Structure 1
Amino acid sequence: MVNEHPKHIIAVSAYVTNDNGEVLLVKTHWRSDTWEAPGGQVEVGEPLDEAVYREILEETGIVVRPLGITGIYYNVTKHILSVIFKAEYVSGELKIQPEEIKEAKFVKLTEINIEQFITRPHMRSRTLDAMKSVNFIPYETWEVSPYNLLGRLE
């Protein structure tokens, strides 16, 4: 048996709220049956909080400030580890990246109406966790030669 290194995709997304308490949702071309939190794949060597900032800016034109991690989820079928953040709107107007995003909008999302928007159960579960979260999982970015703490969210 050959010893193989595990290969997983790491993805990030964020539950982003604006000053009106509305949540930023996107609809992608390849999952057009559901709305979802914006996000995408983390690039090699990229800190997770920077990845979620970059992905949301690229996809929607919105600048966010990641506040913390609300959950970590694993898709065993596609080998995707998803890290979900809560983030706040900082600036920008909605301007979608048409190659990836069909639509984007801010929605008054509640536990009662969530199924009208987020139709996939695993995405709904993450969104509800983020919606209800008041505490965050600590997250640190380090360089280790020499040891240098680059950032921390908690």
Structure 2
Amino acid sequence: MLRLIEALAERILPAPIHRALMPLAHRIRHRWRRFSGQPIAGVSVLLTNDAGEVLLLRHSYGPNVWGLPGGGLKRAESPEDCARREVREELGIVLCEVKAIGTLEEELSGAPHTAHLIAATTRETPRPDGREVVEARFFAPGALPYALGDVTQRRIEAWRTRA
């Protein structure tokens, strides 16, 4: 139901209004996951450019930290296809090489969560959608910004050990 509402909002609402509503939608989703306890699955994309820099972004909702591109898996969607879709929708980027590198079993918003880690490359410059993503930049792996979320830190460490 939440996905349907989000899809309608993207088609109907101008970007500034959609962006302003994202924090409320995020809080509702967080509470729903905690209440339902239903297992969820998503992808996190470790996206690098030709220089080996890692793409990080800031969302219009949630904590004010740098995160990874990604999102929720749709029914019958492969993690690789989900990664391609999410990066295209949020950043206007077409991925070159896409490779599943593992999963992390964790708890997010009080519900079991399977995070599929996807390594990918691109030669394109990100163009944030202005709805979910407000900023996106490449960083050298040894010079990542201080304000990384805990989830992002765990996923980058897993990528470094598995890739």
| Same fold per superposition (TM over 0.5) | yes
For residue 69 of structure 2, the aligned residue among 38, 46, 50 is: 38
Change over 3 Å in CA distance of 1:117–1:22 after alignment to 2: farther
* Cα drift, residue 32 of structure 1: 4.4
For residue 133 of structure 2, the aligned residue among 73, 97, 101 is: 101
Amino acid at match of 1:63: V
* Cα drift, residue 117 of structure 1: 3.8
- Which residue does the alignment assign to 1:27? 58
For residue 49 of structure 1, the aligned residue among 70, 77, 80 is: 80
Between 14-23 and 31-40, report the one with greater CA deviation: 31-40
Larger Rg belongs to? 1
- Secondary structure of the residue aligned to 1:82 is strand
5+ residue gaps, structure 2, are 1-36
| Structure with the larger strand share | 1
Aligned length: 125
Note the alpha carbon deviations across 1:95-144, whole angstroms, 9 max, x for none.
Answer: 1111101111111122xx446141x223201112112323xxxxxxxxxx
1:5-154 equivalences under 5 Å are 7-64=38-95, 65-75=97-107, 77-89=110-122, 91-110=123-142, 113-114=143-144, 116-118=146-148, 120-134=149-163
- Secondary structure of the residue aligned to 2:151 is helix
Note the alpha carbon deviations across 1:67-91, whole angstroms, 9 max, x for none.
Answer: 22243232151333211111111x4
CA distance in structure 2 between the partners assigned to 1:103 and 1:58 by the alignment: 14
CA distance in structure 2 between the partners assigned to 1:79 and 1:36 by the alignment: 20
* Cα drift, residue 38 of structure 1: 0.2
Note the alpha carbon deviations across 1:13-68, whole angstroms, 9 max, x for none.
Answer: 11111101111111101134211110001111111110011101111111113122
| Structure with the larger helix share | 2
Aligned partners of 1:71 and 1:126 also within 8 Å: no
Change over 3 Å in CA distance of 1:133–1:50 after alignment to 2: same
CA distance in structure 1 between the partners assigned to 2:45 and 2:57 by the alignment: 11
CA distance in structure 1 between the partners assigned to 2:129 and 2:155 by the alignment: 24
- Secondary structure of the residue aligned to 2:141 is coil
5+ residue gaps, structure 1, are 1-5, 135-154
TM-score, normalization by structure 1: 0.72
Aligned partners of 1:67 and 1:88 also within 8 Å: no
TM-score, normalization by structure 2: 0.68
* TM-align CA RMSD: 1.9
